[in-house]
Chain A
Amino acid sequence: MSSTNNFLLEAKGITKYFGTITALENVNLKVRAGECLGVVGDNGAGKSTLMKVLSGLYKPSAGSLHFQGKEEILESPRDSQNLGLEMVYQDLALAGNLPIGENIFLGREPTKNLGLLKLLDFKKIKELTDAHLGKLKINVKSADQKVEELSGGQRQAVAIARSTAFDAKVVIMDEPTAALAIKEVGKVLDLINSLKKTGVGVIVISHRMDDIFTVCDRVMALFQGTNFAEAELSKTSRDEVIGWIMGKK
């Protein structure tokens, strides 16, 4: 774990209202390079809302986001992507009808110019995809395979591959192992560990203590939309973290 105090991403005092409902109140979060932060909390504790604020999908009602020490205002997911902040959604956010490569580069497809026309560069998409999947040691038959033909673990791997294809600095993962068969969970956790080694800051939201205690360096708990507790992983235990989720210290 990095020992500097330079946080890659810092959220300060995030508050989010939906009409009369307070989803988040004065929530703080920070993550360093090469560190994995686990975010736990019961259903409705505000985990997903917080992640959507971080990814630019929701605008916070109050509070600020700081990226590499600089305050940033995110208007859309595009803005957060441009900063190097990537999100892996719980529902995976992949288009099943498109091949792996086109999913990885969806919205940011490389193009080539043909006169005045800008056409998709399928050859480059395939090359970049093969190289990227190889780097992350993700095994699929071919980059041209449609995502709907993949297993749950492979899909998760493609989603993670997509999040890191563009020089990501922080990757946020919402329940990365929730929909997976047991033997696929290990592969995804390995993938997270190898991401950390490349200096990426990872935020993992999970219900599964096994996940948290395998890949995370620090864990924070949300309870009813507020910061409830936070600790280095070495200084806490599963039972304590489970207690936090239920609102007991």
Chain B
Amino acid sequence: MIEEKNKKPESLYLKLMPYFEKYGILLLLLIMILVMHILQPDVFLSWRNVTNVFKQISWQSMLALGVFMVIVTAGIDLSVGSIMMLSLMILAIVAKAGAPWFIVVMTPLIAGFLCGLINGAGITFLRMPHPFIMTLGTLYIFRGTGNLISGGTPISGFTDEVRYLGHGRIDLTWLGLEKSQYLPVSLVLIAVVYFIFWVFMNHSRTGKWIYAIGGNPNAARASGINVNKILIIVYSLCGFLSGIGALILAGRADSGYPNAGLQSELDAIAACIIGGASFFGGRGTVLGVFAGVMIMGILRNGLNLMDVSSFWQQVLIGSIIVLAVYIDVLRRDLSTRK
């Protein structure tokens, strides 16, 4: 009897723990939204501002998702910003050469995929001691190549079809909404891509193996999993997502420009870390990355609304990274002290 009584609170705690682990980051996101809403009650949750946030995070969310998969394997991809820039430049050149829009739209996806393939092949076949080194190398190589092929100058002016993903609007007047209350195509794209990758990471064998490799690569190998093949797939998909990012950015900026995606690899990594992905691999969720991207987007947006200088934004984002990881450390302490 006494044992039963002692057991109860612990089992409740243990029951809640996984949910907290899974959805705690969403709680943080909700709190942030609430705080911003209280601080900016008229603007923050307005249709215009909410869609604006989604448009602003659209291409970053693609990079973050790619980097997330890489981080789950206990790797890192520093080259996503450069992959995006190179893909964007190729898109711009192909578009300027007068190629039909459906070819133009395919180019950044293929280019991004191939860049990722190069990363994956380098890490596995060249046996680089750590993905950090390979992707640090390609960070320079891809951006340099992008500047070489474009002459380092912006190339502007794309057709509406090419700009659709980044710039398109879905009219909602048939729902009785006003003309200004449209749905950005990029928002729908984020939802679709994140859903597909959520299914991939959680319900496919390959996704499970990606987590297994991050948890214990030797276990994965001993289970007959072709670890190198999976790593190449992961880095290629990361490049592919950077290519989608380039396509979105092409729509938003209507231009291929040399500074595209500069340092955005760090934003992508930050979003993963804030979203609860572990640098040691094997831990993190697609939902968490989405929350991480949203938290960074909302923070920037909210601080802009309140006219806080961008220097403070840097300080705050940095602080949030440290704080988020510290909360994670505390949480892990609690969950292991049974």
Contact = CB atoms under 8 A, between A and B. Distances in A.
B208 A76 contact: no
Give chain A's interface residue range (CB within 8 Å of chain B): 20 to 34
A89 B220 contact: no
Interface string A95-132: 11110001100111101000001111000000000000
Contacts of A111: 205
A102 B208 contact: yes
B233 to A, nearest CB: 15
Given A97-B283, A118-B205, A120-B205, A107 B215 contact: no
Given A95-B212, A96-B215, A98-B211, A107 B223 contact: yes
B220 A98 contact: no
Nearest to B338: A149
Contacts of B221: 57, 77
Given A76-B224, A97-B282, A109 B205 contact: yes
Contacts of A103: 219
A199 B208 CA distance: 32
Interface in A66-99: 76-78, 81, 87, 89, 91-98
B225 interface: yes
A85 B224 CA distance: 12
Given A76-B224, A89-B222, A106-B220, A97 B205 contact: no
B8 to A, nearest CB: 15
Contacts of A77: 221-224
A117 B199 CA distance: 10
B205 A95 contact: no
A107 B211 contact: no
B216 interface: yes
Contacts of A95: 211-212, 215-216, 219-220, 282
Interface in B8-60: none
B224 A94 contact: no
A96 B216 contact: yes
Interface string B259-294: 000000000000000000000001100000000000
B224 A93 contact: no
B216 A94 contact: yes
A93 B223 contact: yes
Interface string B114-144: 0000000000000000000000000000000
B218 A91 contact: yes
B214 interface: yes
Contact of B209 (A76, A96, A107): A107
Given A95-B211, A98-B212, A120-B208, A106 B218 contact: no
Nearest to B280: A97
B179 interface: no
A87 B208 contact: no
Nearest to B223: A107
A80 to B, nearest CB: 9
A81 B221 CA distance: 12
Interface of B: 199, 203-205, 208-209, 211-212, 214-216, 218-225, 282-283
Given A106-B219, A106-B225, 13 more contacts: A77-B224, A89-B222, A94-B219, A95-B216, A95-B220, A96-B215, A96-B216, A97-B283, A98-B212, A102-B212, A117-B199, A117-B204, A119-B203
Q: What 8 A-B pairs have minimum CB-CB distances, sorted nearest first?
A: A95-B215, A107-B223, A78-B224, A97-B282, A97-B215, A93-B222, A93-B219, A106-B223
23 contacts: A76-B224, A77-B224, A78-B224, A89-B218, A93-B218, A93-B223, A94-B216, A95-B216, A95-B219, A97-B215, A97-B282, A98-B208, A98-B282, A102-B208, A102-B212, A106-B209, A106-B220, A107-B224, A108-B223, A118-B204, A119-B204, A120-B203, A120-B208
